[in-house]
Chains A and B, each alone.
Chain A
């Protein structure tokens, strides 16, 4: 190890005196950690919130409902208010100038713009 690394103590040591179980004992090498832990979705599923009274707050039912306000439509490129919608690219645009721009965009960029508002075509 380079001296400046040692001086900065950048690298986390493997052994700590204050730990009862060291990390290498708990997680032996060769196992990918990604599979070991449930993702939030799996955690929520395993919690079985449907079995509990609905008025009891839990992680799922405290989520906000969809907005009651009419959704704002803004130009995907400029952020201005967008009265128009291009049926070909599905992008919203503010004026003729922006329309020219979106028609010159490659499909890759169109999809990336759509992905910004979660409207891209996702192939599974």
Chain B
């Protein structure tokens, strides 16, 4: 049953004669105000004040009670939380109290120049006179209230229930409230404060304990556990265990019963959106676009090629024509003829012709033949081409010498190229051979082969890994560098440690004797050494690694289940970064098990939250002891009518537990009856309303004149008579 405030402004204030008292139940959790003699309070709201800053205008405003959270977005509440006028159960902040009264009277419909009605207001048991006098002062001076009466909420509730016949004239009122729990004995229908007792535990502590436990258990959802939410959870789920130890054992054993008692609060959770690939149509559309673009590019390339072929053919035709013409021209006319064409010799034209033919062939798309041909062409001609090389130097002219040098260079490079080609071929053959062998082995015994391959892969990968580790991590690899727990030195790689060493030796040398650094040129080499960050042999490809890649690719080919190990560099990172599993629905569940009865248990065992006072059941015994009745008769009458009232007695199972607890401390055979108030939350107001509407009520009030004449000592002893 969540708390509902009721703050509609009343319109019938003017209809009440000035003799009708206003009844206020000023509880630490909520403020209730209404008219004496009525059945229910007119206005109810949480007894808190907030003073946030209005965002638009920047002024500090006052907001009383709980409001629609949607409206609070216009305010900046970061600097002011909800504030209460209460310290424990005593009013101490009268500025806040005044805001509360303003709001309360305003919503009751007050509109005259003053509050011209007697006021009955509740207070705690044995309220310090400071608080009581300040309260009276506030009502008299600020609101012009003619007369005031103070009473205790639990006592009013008891009297009201006595009226209803729920409890007897003599009895105990046990009132677990918001901040405190009281036990007040009633003898002959009158509250006896001498026997009253108070433990500073109440609903506030239960909610706070609950909230803390939840936020400790679910630190990720801390922001969800607002005060209001936890209060609601408490009201909905908490109960009092008949026997705490037995109840926990149920949960400890994980019985079916415990499972039934476990509640689950599912926080809003949206399953992560599964990355969906593009739809069929989308894929088709994309493919079509790609196809179109490719087509366009192909067309462009084709057009370019054809135009180039055309060009080359034209050139060829021209050159052929030129050659034909050249044949017809006489030997002596050649230079003059050639000067017009731009070529210097017949050979040049021929070579141009050959080149053009070659490029034409290439353009037409028969390069391979060309290549082979040209390669072959080199071979036979090589000897005669390089014939100059075999001639001794002294037999050659300067020009020929130059030519020889050039040829020499050319020869070595071609030979080198051929050697490389040869080697490549051999390698290819070797690989082929190996593959063939592998294939044979595989065909002979596939299982064994695969196994061997795996073993080999594992060995090799370990070896390579080891080497890499050594490189990055220096000598101290004992295989546990991946599992954390590395010291300062182990974290650095070899190069970094070398730099460290250089720096420290340099610093150490600096300290002694004359500083000669820089006298020799070699000194500066130090910086080069230091700035070197990685090993030089980083990109050296060793045969093992090559073999490893070969095996892994082979494995990938024949074994579908094989997954190659990630590169050691990345695998290290993967290990170090904690793996985040995707959040599931369960991560957004708040499981309420033991907490359901652990939290309200503090009412019976305040020492669970470090408050060293008697719990509710024991308090009854304390109260009876304090009363020091002369006869067992009175005690029996008291225990026969135990009324529980107050907001925190709404927990299911509280009456049974209280009865069991009191039975333990009372003599054997004592009659014990525990009853719950008809409405534990509102009965204090109901009782006060009934009391204020009684004819003798005015005799219990005091006026402003009384207050000033009789003084503080009188006010300290002031106490209303509940039995009118």
Contacts and interface: CB of A to CB of B under 8 A. Distances in A.
Contacts of B63: 10-12
Interface stretch (B86-94, B549-557, B647-655, B673-681): B86-94
B141 A21 contact: yes
Given A57-B126, A109-B216, A63 B197 contact: yes
A58 B62 contact: no
B213 A59 contact: no
Contacts, number: 184
Interface string B248-273: 11011000000000000000000000
A19 B9 CA distance: 17
A62 B251 contact: no
Contacts of B56: 1-2
Interface in B29-76: 54, 56-57, 61-64, 67-68, 71, 74
Contacts of A36: 95
Interface in B583-611: 594-595, 598, 605-611
Contacts of A81: 245, 248-249
A20 B137 CA distance: 12
Contacts of A79: 248, 594-595, 598
B442 to A, nearest CB: 50
B665 to A, nearest CB: 8
A2 B112 CA distance: 29
B330 to A, nearest CB: 106
Contacts of A86: none
B106 A16 contact: yes
Interface in A34-77: 36-40, 43-44, 46-47, 55, 57-59, 62-69, 71-72, 74
A118 to B, nearest CB: 2
Interface string A85-124: 0000000001000000000000001001100111100000
A10 B54 contact: no
A6 B106 CA distance: 15
B58 to A, nearest CB: 12
A74 B105 contact: no
A68 B129 contact: no
A117 B609 contact: yes
A59 B90 contact: yes
B128 A44 contact: yes
Interface residues of A, number: 56
A23 to B, nearest CB: 6
B212 A112 contact: yes
B211 to A, nearest CB: 11
B610 A16 contact: no
Interface in B441-483: none
B93 A12 contact: no
B618 interface: yes
Interface stretch (B96-104, B404-412, B428-436, B568-576): B96-104
Contacts of B494: none
Nearest to B611: A118
B62 A12 contact: yes
Interface string A5-34: 100111111001111110100110000010
A116 B209 contact: yes
Contacts of B209: 116
B167 interface: no
A8 B71 CA distance: 9
A102 to B, nearest CB: 12
Contacts of A10: 63, 67, 71
Interface of A: 1-2, 4-5, 8-13, 16-21, 23, 26-27, 33, 36-40, 43-44, 46-47, 55, 57-59, 62-69, 71-72, 74, 78-81, 94, 109, 112-113, 116-119
14 contacts: A1-B54, A2-B56, A2-B74, A10-B67, A17-B112, A18-B110, A18-B144, A26-B95, A26-B142, A36-B95, A57-B196, A58-B128, A64-B622, A118-B610
Interface of B: 9, 54, 56-57, 61-64, 67-68, 71, 74, 87-88, 90, 92-96, 98-99, 102-103, 105-106, 110-115, 124-131, 141-144, 193-194, 196-200, 209, 212-213, 216, 244-245, 248-249, 251-252, 594-595, 598, 605-615, 618-619, 622
Given A12-B102, A65-B614, A66-B614, 15 more contacts: A8-B71, A11-B62, A20-B143, A26-B95, A40-B87, A43-B87, A43-B130, A44-B128, A55-B194, A59-B126, A64-B197, A66-B613, A81-B249, A112-B212, A118-B609
